[in-house]
Structure 1
Amino acid sequence: MTKLSVNINKIATLRNARGGNVPDLLQVAKDIQKFGAHGITIHPRPDERHITYQDARDLKNVVHTEYNIEGNPQHNFIDLVLECQPDQVTLVPDAIGAITSNAGWDTIKYQDYLTEVIQEFYRNGIRTSIFVDANESMVEGAKKTGADRIELYTESFAYQYGLGNKTAIEPFIKAAIKANEMGLGINAGHDLSLDNIKFFKDNIPNLLEVSIGHALISESLYLGLDNVVNMYLNKLKG
């Protein structure tokens, strides 16, 4: 089945809004894994407005499934990843002031830069994934950097699907086929939810992993975290 990695940034946002340690980020990570999720994702940003760098360090001792750290590979981020040694690092070109990720990499323009960064992670035994738009040329560029996987940026699909436009899946299918042809693993994330995840998963060949945070945590406010994690797991089955 497609694996579920839960992004816990929003748990840290809620904690930081009040100060202190409620909700307890580390306990939530433990519980999410106990409920059946295959991994934990975090996306620390330079201003540490949700996940802090210390959170990343502390989670290393808590995550016994797959540990995925996302972020823009600036010097501090690279140093953090090398210190924490996660199972996977996902490179995302988010601007410092961005509320959330809003574009994939131009893997042609930044090919040399990404290649250099990926080689550093490769030397340290860390699997790499590059956040890309559903564009075949960007997939080809990602392959040339030496990345192990791509993560398809799914906001456009999610938005159009919500309007009833199921044809929005088509560029993602094409990008996935190209990735499969080139031997790249396929992850996906951004605005995937209980409403659209099964349709997306059923149409993307060899989808290895989805990373879901905002929707999953929001849905859990109504339905409960344990219940929602398992609802996703059921939709991600073969």
Structure 2
Amino acid sequence: MTKLSVNINKIATLRNARGGNVPDLLKAAVDIQNFGAQGITIHPRPDERHIRYQDALDLKSVVTTEFNIEGNPIQEFMDLVLRIKPEQVTLVPDAVDAITSNAGWDTNKHSVFLKEVVEEFKRNGIRTSIFMDPVVALMESAAATGTDRIELYTESFAVEFEKGNKSGVLAYAETAKKASEYGLGINAGHDLNLQNLHYFVKEVPRVLEVSIGHALIAEALYFGLQNVVGMYLQKLK
């Protein structure tokens, strides 16, 4: 069964909008795990507009499943991850002013840099994943970085699926197959939701983990957080 890692950035966004500690980010993380999620994901950014660096440090003591920290591997981010030593770090090439992640790595162009970053994290016992577009031709260079996994950036699939075009999943299936041939594990995330998730994991082979935040938290406004986590787990069966 594909594992569900819940991205709690949007819970931090809601907290920060009012100040104080409502909703309580740490309690939310504990509850989400108790509801059955197999991981917690955060994506701290330099401006700390949602997850703060202190949040990342505080969460280390309450995440008892898999802790996945995403971000652009600038030095400040690397120092934070190396201090926490989560189970997984996901490298994302987002610009400082990006509202959300909007592209994967070009592992040909950035091969030397990524290899150095991956080596540093793996030397410290942290599993690595590289955020990537569904491009078959990049899988060889991705594997050459030494990364353990890739995370497929699923926005284009979600956009096409909403239009009724299910063929948008084909590039992901082909990329996942090629990645597996090179020994890479497959994660996926971005714009996956209750409508498209089951089809994605059914059509794309060997997806180990999905990271879902925005849609899940938005859907929880209607169905409740515990119900929604359970609904996502059902979609992954």
Deviations 1:160-183 (A, max 9, x none): 000000000010011000011111
Match of 1:7 in 2: 7
Question: Matches of 2:222 and 2:161 in 1, distance apart?
Answer: 22
Answer whether contact 1:189 1:210 (CA < 8 A) is retained. yes
Q: How does 1:218-233 map to 2 (within 5 A)?
A: 218-233=218-233
Give the letter for the 2:149 counterpart: R
Give the letter for the 2:176 counterpart: A
Provide the secondary structure at the position in 2 that maps to 1:229. helix
Deviations 1:184-203 (A, max 9, x none): 00000000000000000001
Provide the secondary structure at the position in 2 that maps to 1:231. helix
Deviations 1:209-236 (A, max 9, x none): 0000000000000001000001010110
Match of 1:216 in 2: 216
Match of 1:83 in 2: 83
Provide the secondary structure at the position in 2 that maps to 1:130. strand
Match of 1:71 in 2: 71
TM-score (norm. length: structure 1) = 0.99
Match of 1:235 in 2: 235
Provide the secondary structure at the position in 2 that maps to 1:150. strand
Deviations 1:126-171 (A, max 9, x none): 0000000000122222101000000000000000000000000010
Question: Matches of 1:107 and 1:64 in 2, distance apart?
Answer: 32
Answer whether contact 1:90 1:130 (CA < 8 A) is retained. yes
Question: Matches of 2:50 and 2:205 in 1, distance apart?
Answer: 33
Match of 1:160 in 2: 160
Identity of aligned residues (%): 69
Question: Matches of 1:139 and 1:208 in 2, distance apart?
Answer: 17
TM-score (norm. length: structure 2) = 0.99
- Which runs of no fewer than 5 residues in structure 1 stay unpaired? none
Question: Matches of 1:168 and 1:224 in 2, distance apart?
Answer: 30
Answer whether contact 1:29 1:62 (CA < 8 A) is retained. yes
Aligned residues: 237
Provide the secondary structure at the position in 1 that maps to 2:195. coil
Question: Matches of 1:187 and 1:122 in 2, distance apart?
Answer: 18
Match of 2:40 in 1: 40
Question: Matches of 1:139 and 1:10 in 2, distance apart?
Answer: 31
CA-CA distance at 1:40 after TM superposition: 0.1
Q: How does 1:53-68 map to 2 (within 5 A)?
A: 53-68=53-68
Match of 1:141 in 2: 141
Answer whether contact 1:132 1:139 (CA < 8 A) is retained. no
Give the letter for the 1:140 counterpart: E
- Alignment RMSD, CA only? 0.4
Structure 1 consecutive aligned stretches of length 4 or more whose deviation exceeds 3 Å: none
Give the letter for the 2:28 counterpart: V
CA-CA distance at 1:65 after TM superposition: 0.1
Question: Matches of 2:23 and 2:156 in 1, distance apart?
Answer: 32
Match of 2:103 in 1: 103
Deviations 1:40-72 (A, max 9, x none): 000000000000000000000000000000000
Question: Matches of 2:18 and 2:139 in 1, distance apart?
Answer: 41
Match of 2:183 in 1: 183
